[in-house]
Structure 1
Amino acid sequence: MQKFTLLKGLVAPIDRENVDTDAIIPKQFLKSIRKTGFGQNLFDEWRYLDAGFPGQDPASRRPNPDFVLNLPRYQGASVLLARKNFGCGSSREHAPWALDQYGFRAIIAPSYADIFFNNSFKNGLLPIVLSEAQVGQLFDEVAAFAGYSLTVDLARQVVIKPSGEELPFEVQSFRKYCLLNGLDDIGLTLRHADKIKAFEAERLAQKPWLAHTMLA
């Protein structure tokens, strides 16, 4: 998992409440569990005017010129600004995969659905909670200024506006540790690789017949 330390990124606004995971990555794209290739179908039914299906060449699609992520001013955005209850609906882990693979590293919203919130941390995506008033102000500033960027300092737990104003946010210490060090669940386990190998070697020495079972 990619480390998250300091991010300075262009902000793209999704000015809708209750954005569910079927909008983030529609159900027809959930057949793959490879964790790759989902970015091109992020917000698929909103981004395109034609119906999307797995394996489709994005160059053959008809983009919706009115959807925010298709506007030139938001190309290359890495911070997503959203309204309350972002990520509600079904518990598909493909939702944070799609957001991350599109290029987003952080989301700012007043609230999130619990499962989406947890899945985001496990996949290197930082969901930041700010108050509705703070988020509303950010929406106004993003609309007013093309190229509006924010800096997210995870170590200090602040979002820094172009004016220099800092907006503190909370993050659970263990989740912060994992993001700062780029550790997903597998990475956390592999920190103990030497102990795991030693355990397996000792177990096979005591029960050598297991080697045949493992090879089978």
Structure 2
Amino acid sequence: IIGETQLASDKIRTGRLENYEWEQLEYKIKDLEKAPVYVDDTPAISIFEFRAKCRRLKQKYDIQAIVIDYLQLMTGSKDSGSREQEVSHISRSLKSIAKELDVPIIALSQLNRSVEMRSGNKRPQLSDLRESGAIEQDADLVLFIHRPEYYGIDVDEEGNSLKGVAEIIVAKHRNGPTGDINLKFVREFAKFVDMDDTLAMVDDDENGFTISSKMNKEAEGLTNNDIRTNNGFDGPAPF
């Protein structure tokens, strides 16, 4: 909601919005209500229940992707043994579900505390994935988000400011190259944008504003009928 409405996160959490911001929130939420997104917040869901629910959603709605936030909150078989073995079982099962349903599964994972305790370089690496080496082994693609600013590192070795800089570390890519991608993290909107985006405030009308970005520039002059949404039907642009 924050990313879509481009309203400050603290305002949405507290409900302290101006009248025009309430209107902006209501307008954007209508678009989100129509989105084919299905949320299940079952606590400590087992991998078996997860598989059954995914099968039903695939059959009923033909879902195209599955996101898990986060993997270590799931439970596996009671006879898995240690927690590491349990997480390994969950990881292998997710790989199996992805193949069975022919959809990508994006699973968030915690890191070990060793990252914070490590002196010097805080960049995460594959061995930092928490509780199981099976995650590293089973995943086709492993991405880490690293913000030096989070660890109090404000400038790089050349003295350049790292304020708002976020590194997307492609630590593993089964079918392609690895490397780093630099983005800008906009804390107010919990959003990542390209480094060359200006994020300048541009007057929209007398009561509000929009955020200038490369995506908006590329979409100038387009109407709703010119834009095809992910589900194959023409609809409002998502930005």
TM-score, scaled to structure 1: 0.25
TM-score, scaled to structure 2: 0.24
Pick the structure with more helix per residue.
1
Answer 1 or 2: higher relative contact order, Cα 8 Å, separation at least 6: 1
